[in-house]
Structure 1
């Protein structure tokens, strides 16, 4: 049986522009208040989201003007490429590798469209070999960080000794819409930030942790819970208010099923490393997984400092926890469009 994949390194990167939540709330009041009758009632979401600041592809004033899809795409290509390079270089440096040592690159992103995909656009800047295998992954949203990690681990295990770079990069703020007077748009404005995370995986010995198992669960008839609509100005957020109660009711059995298929139980997990989609989602996950209030403390810290960056966010949590010291067994978990949950079990190196 081939050796399991090892986590070799992790790294994160964010844009330079910082959005303080207080400034975003004030700007949202100016933009939505006069035109959206329900905004005053919804404005408390900016205080209850659990976010102090976020990083964005552009300064706050850029979002005050109408933006076309071509404008948004130009920013996506520019900033996503820069963040990819920054996160990848940091992961390579930490692993003691060069870009020429990477055999496969998995790129996870659902907040922009790029053909050729981002890893091809930055290949020259990073110095990838011409024979590198490219695996772009689109459409997994918030679950993409865990699913991309799982894909990278399987590719590393299939070809022992090769190095797999996984990069999740999302520019969620580019989905902000001046034309959509909807609750979903207001909630997204209160939650979303931009960032990238990278990790390197390799089958063999000597990593930070062993990738023990992975799995997914997709609930039937849930396509309308989360996703994008596509219209002339760009992506429009689909963000159902039922996500926290859905997570509280459904996440436990789904995770138990994934663990059970891999011969594990929840009692054997020392730490769940979860995607902090929002303060209410974090609380719902603590209830769903019987973790106790406050157990997902690092998740709350990442949410406070970066907001919900979609796919990279759970890898920000992983990066922060592993720098403190991974527990014996941890399980990455994230929910995303589908509606689905993706999990990966890690066993820390001794």
Structure 2
């Protein structure tokens, strides 16, 4: 069965974090606590990030609390983002909320039980018999993995309307009590945002192909969360760009082969821009040509690394720009995340 994209939306929370102001505030808060801060400070200017958005205002970062404070902000901010992203995607699809049959929710930056689609139900007007499928722990790969799961659910339920909502509030992982290098890098890169996709078996001009995934053995420490008294603390291994350079080409070729495609037969890679070095590593590994991932760099510049929804921001811009229209070649949407893993989805545009 074929599955088609009916609506796609993106949104960010209200609090803007210009990178130059983040740099200055970080110097005040983290500089006295982290002896290596001055050595890392230039990365604020070389990261490729110019603006980000947060569910918390600037002042919160000076007095960030523990689990209760962070998760309450996650619950409020993520629910608001859910409602905005879902409402916009449904409007794009010309669907009403009570027409949706399956709700897939991806989020790894807070704990919500009941989950976010239930938190938002009263504001959205979903039916009480919707199938709810929350996905946690996928990190930066969550947007693509969620798209693949949503597609499979649509295939298994031919008459169903499926709504995927992907939300992350990465900025709430900010740490000043235990600043490690990974915490500084997170402060440089992380932003908050959400995206939503409406999909079903009814034909449109954008078809979602069957995806693929890969998880590498013995790579658990590369990326993820550490859990401590303050909440979720980021794990970033310095080897990520080198890992991408060494491994992504073979993983991509294997995924494409499973889709009866090759790098020669795809029109464009649509990638999660985890950071400037990762984008460069992707271009090198896949022989794309320097600067070819221009939209990825633009999204990183304008929003930072929002984890799971970021790649859907890239896809939205590429579809609006019309890169794949009329080319006869599909887009390949991809992202790397904890596991360490990769997820891929082909997108065909008529």
Q: TM-score, normalised on structure 2?
A: 0.97
Q: What is the aligned partner in structure 1 of residue 174 from structure 2?
A: 176
Structure 1 residues 14-53: aligned runs within 5 Å: 14-53=12-51
Q: Does 1:241 align with 2:242?
A: no
Partner secondary structure for residue 213 of structure 1: coil
SS of the aligned residue for 1:216 comes to strand
Q: What is the correspondence of 1:114-263 to structure 2 with a 5 Å cutoff?
A: 114-205=112-203, 207-263=204-260
Residue ranges of structure 2 left out of the alignment (5+ in a row): none
C-alpha offsets along residues 73-112 of structure 1, whole Å, 9 cap, x if unaligned? 1000001000000000000001111001110010000000
How much is the aligned-residue C-alpha RMSD, in angstroms? 0.9
- Counterpart CA distance in 2 for 1:111 and 1:208 is 33
Equivalent in the alignment of 1:113: 111
How big is each residue's C-alpha offset from its partner over 1:152-179, in whole Å with a ceiling of 9 and x where there is no partner?
Answer: 0111111112110000000000000111
CA distance in 2: counterparts of 1:214 and 1:281, whole angstroms: 22
Runs (4+) of structure 1 moved beyond 2 Å?
none
Q: Deviations over 1:258-303 (max 9, x none)?
A: 1112221111110100000011111111111111011110000000
User: Contact conserved, 1:15 with 1:57, CA < 8 A, in 2?
Assistant: yes
Query: Could you tell me how far 1:4 is from its partner in structure 2?
Result: 1.2
| More displaced stretch, 321-330 vs 178-187 | 321-330
Look up the SS of the partner of 1:228 in the other structure: strand
| Aligned match of 1:343 | 344
Once the two structures are superposed, what CA deviation does each residue of 1:192-251 show, in whole Å capped at 9, x if it has no partner? 00000001110131x241122201011110000000000111001101111111111101
Which of 258, 272, 277 lines up with 1:280 in the alignment? 277
Return the offset for 1:326: 4.6
